Amino acid sequence: MITTLIPIGNSRGVRIPKPLLNESGLGNDVEIQVKKGEIRIIAAPKKKSPANDILLLAEKTLGADWNKPEEDKAWASLQ
């Protein structure tokens, strides 16, 4: 398909027809790669959820702090 670059503010862009977008499977986030003579638009890598990082950190901390003798003594008085 041949199309024309259109002005968008101080930049230029290309309108991508809906059927081509549907066929490509691209979502809202894309990555633009440039090589001499071509511009590639590909799906952006999935972002890791910050919540997963927090959960992993909490799990590591619990693993390091969980089995201490002073913890057993503290809990023993409550049983």
* Residues 30 and 42: beta-carbon distance below 8 Å: yes
The pLDDT value recorded for residue 36 is: 92
Structure pTM?
Answer: 0.52
The pLDDT value recorded for residue 18 is: 92
Asked whether residue 13 carries a pLDDT value surpassing 80, the answer given is yes
Asked whether residue 73 carries a pLDDT value surpassing 80, the answer given is no
37 vs 12, 16, 40, CA distance in Å? 16, 19, 10
Q: What is the pLDDT of residues 23-72, one digit of tens each?
A: 998 988 999 999 999 999 999 887 766 666 666 666 666 666 666 777 77
Asked whether residue 75 carries a pLDDT value surpassing 70, the answer given is yes
The pLDDT value recorded for residue 20 is: 92
Q: How far apart are CA 56 and CA 54, in angstroms?
A: 5
